[in-house]
Structure 1
Amino acid sequence: MSQKKKKILILGGSGFIGNALYKELYAYFDTYATYFNTDRGLSKNHKFIQWDLETEDIGIMLQSIRPSIIISCLRGDFDALVHQHQSLIQYTLRYDAKIIFLSSANVFDAFSNFPSYEYDKTLSESVYGRFKIKIENALLRLPNKNYAIVRLPMVFGKKSPRIEEIKEYIKNEVPIEVFPNVVVNATTISKITQQLHYIINRSRRGVFHLGSDDLIHHDDLILDICQASGHDQPILKNVFDSNDDRYLAVIPKDNILPKNYHISIKEVVEESVF
């Protein structure tokens, strides 16, 4: 199947990651996306479809578009999301399509003593993490060729919600919450879009950890970004949730992308300067 004939549907195309993916992919593939209540002129783009995941079943849209690849960047009510992903799985099996599910480092948030790799056991103490695990487990029962699970750490970049929030806090002299005992990795929106483009292009499958290869304490990362942006003494509020270092990091180890698709914490900081 040629690139132009690959039909992609991005669920959550008006969100930060979903919209960046649409901008990355639409010139190369027949790309569609959904939006809910954030229009921003999206209704004028005939490749964007208004859709309410809580009241409208995804099946009608799938039958209309017939995508060969579905990228799930959805946020919303957890029960509704589980229901819609069950419909996605049924469609995938019937039409031999592929689901790319954007998951999170939170699927490992019950583990604190070490970073996590692609095929480590998942276990979460948070409602959000347990929701992601539930969908992951359903996808893992599919044939390997029909899914890719993409686990993301914190996502930065100049226009990212995290950086916009930091800018507002600095502007209004509000303390920025940091976690000195939490060891993380991170990535940027530009790197995610490149990586997912590669995964689609090369028909890669399985579980991917798309975080930086190296680690940093959360407070050091935020301080580095602020200082690189010219704010040498931002107001930080230290939040200690344990006495020892706790890891919340998804490290690539088993399902590796080529070297030019890797990222370091130094690059995350450079790409997040505001």
Structure 2
Amino acid sequence: MNKILVLGGSGLLGTAIINQMNNYSNFDVYSTYFQNPMLFNQHKSFKLDICELDNINNILNNLKPDIIVSCLRGDFNKQLIAHIKIAEYLKHNGGNLYFFSTANVFDNDLSKPYYEDDFPNSHTDYGKYKIKCENTIKEILQDSACILRIPQIWGKNSPRMKQLLKSLNSNEDIVVYPKLFHNTNTDIMVARQLCYIINNNLKGTFHLTSEDVVNYKDFYNELIKGLGGNNSRIQENFEEKGYFALLSKRNNEFPKELRLTNKLVINYLINLH
């Protein structure tokens, strides 16, 4: 049985991952939180402050995880130090690290979508932090590090969904970008894809994303229409343009039921309400 520690387990993605992993008899799942205590698996959750290295060391040394999944958030520099400590622990004791990264590692040039083997280049602090984390983790752990880049993530309880529903109910402006193309995934699908990667011992970098790219405005219009927001207030912003999107050369490594399009994401969200 694999003893798995999910860092940032109380967030959107962490919660979905824990719920999915609990369906597998070969996973013994533990998690960390910072501000919001876990509502489930409370006896297997630990408060983690990335500012305190002793706190991180105590959790690792007491739990002795075989696999660590990182969905951490917080101060970039402190996160980097924490990930170095985690990677060094796994290198010394054996184990794999699954690190969630982002499309922002490519945000310096939005002229095209990006694949796993494209060279990351960012102009934002967030993107630069993720690139540094990716490179440092891979340098320490080599093949025992798996980089999982994700696009815009939606879910039943995602901040994006909550804000959209609030705007529709309150008749507030909804900002869309007619000149921007992007793609998406759901928290549930990412969790299922991660479990498949772990169970099949897949290695390297993955873009866990839809198989297609869609216009930002068109995506929102179709989603809003499906949610019954026919009289919604749409505000168009033409400043953001280009592609903020990930594509994958590794889709064929997943079974059909673990591959999706932006249309399927929209249908999933509509059927939740």
**Within 2, Cα distance between the matches of 1:190 and 1:254?**
19
Could you tell me how far 1:46 is from its partner in structure 2? 0.6
Q: Secondary structure at the residue paired with 2:86?
A: helix
Aligned pairs (5 A) from 1:103-182? 103-182=101-180
1:62-81 alignment, distance < 5 Å? 62-81=60-79
Q: In the alignment, which of 195, 206, 211 is matched to residue 213 of structure 1?
A: 211
SS at match of 1:203: coil
What SS does structure 2 have at the residue aligned with 1:232? coil
Q: CA–CA distance in 1 between the matches of 2:122 and 2:215?
A: 21
d(CA) in 1 for partners of 2:8, 2:21: 14
1:270 is aligned to 267
CA pair 266-195 structure 1, distance change in 2 beyond 3 A = same
The residue that corresponds to 2:11 in the other structure is 15
**How big is the shift at 1:189?**
1.3
Q: Distance in 2 between matches of 1:225 and 1:167?
A: 11
Q: Distance in 2 between matches of 1:41 and 1:215?
A: 36
Can you list the C-alpha shifts for 1:75-95, whole angstroms capped at 9, x where unaligned?
111111011001011011101
What secondary structure does 2:43 align onto?
coil
Greater displacement, 177-186 / 53-62? 53-62
CA contact (8 A) 1:18 1:73 kept: yes
Contact kept, 8 Å, 1:223 with 1:234, in 2: the verdict is: no
1:45 to 39, 42, 47: 42
Return the offset for 1:55.
3.0
Q: Deviations over 1:77-132 (max 9, x none)?
A: 11110110010110111012111001100100112111000010000111111111
Matched, 1:261 2:261: no
Give the match's secondary structure for 1:46: helix
TM-score of the superposed pair, with normalisation by structure 1: 0.93
Cα distance in 2 for residues equivalent to 1:25 and 1:40: 15
Between the aligned residues of both structures, percent identity stands at 34
RMSD: 1.6
Query: Which among 243, 246, 249 is matched to residue 245 of structure 2?
Result: 249
Contact in 2 for aligned 1:118/1:252 (Cα 8 Å): yes
What is residue 52 of structure 2 aligned with on the other side?
55
Q: Higher mean Cα deviation, 155-164 or 195-204?
A: 155-164
The code of the aligned residue for 1:131 comes to: Y
Comparing 117-126 with 46-55, which one deviates more in the overlay?
A: 46-55
* One-letter amino acid matched to 1:50: K
Q: 1:217: how far off?
A: 1.1
**Structure 2 runs not aligned, ≥5 long:** none
* Conserved? CA contact 2:150–2:207, under 8 Å: yes
Shift of residue 240 of structure 1?
A: 2.1
Which ranges of 4 or more aligned residues in structure 1 deviate by more than 3 Å? none
User: What SS class does the counterpart of residue 158 from structure 1 fall into?
Assistant: coil
The separation in 1 between residues aligned to 2:233 and 2:167, in whole angstroms, is: 9
Partners in 1 of 2:188 and 2:72 — Cα distance?
19
Match of 2:224 in 1: 226
Count of aligned pairs: 267
The residue number in structure 2 matching 1:6 is 2
